[in-house]
Amino acid sequence: QVQLAESGGGSVQAGGSLRLSCASSGYTYDTTSFCMAWFRQVPGKEREGVAALTTRDGTTYYADSVKGRFTISQDNTKTLYLQMNSLQSEDSGMYYCAADPVVCYSSYWSKRAAFRIWGQGIQVTVSS
């Protein structure tokens, strides 16, 4: 129903910035509410929620580790963004865009199992 494709990853020095983009297709932006989220995974670890946004009202959620440094947003082209500033080595990992119908629930937005639709992932590497 909905397909997601990430872009904008790469390598950056600590303290730098990157902006990830997630292009959506098959998404009825003008009539349907989605929870859109960014997750991060490193080898040998669980995939963890980084940030989420409810498209209907713009409510956002952030992991404590990124609050104040990362900003999730969506523009009128239906593209989801993650602006990442003041990057540190611990921010490195594979970043995934995720989506699910309805809204982001405060107790579930950071759970991998809450999302049915996933992008392929994109690597972010922060060097010191």
Q: Which two tokens stand for residue 79?
A: 């593209």
| pLDDT given for residue 8 in this prediction | 96
The single residue listed with the structure tokens 């990430």 is: 6
| Interval 24-82: pLDDT, tens | 887 665 557 889 999 999 999 999 999 999 988 899 999 999 999 999 999 888 899 99
Per-residue model confidence (pLDDT) at position 33: 82
- Quote the pLDDT of residue 103: 83
pLDDT score at 27: 64
Instruction: Round to whole Å and give the CA distance between 110 and 52.
Output: 8
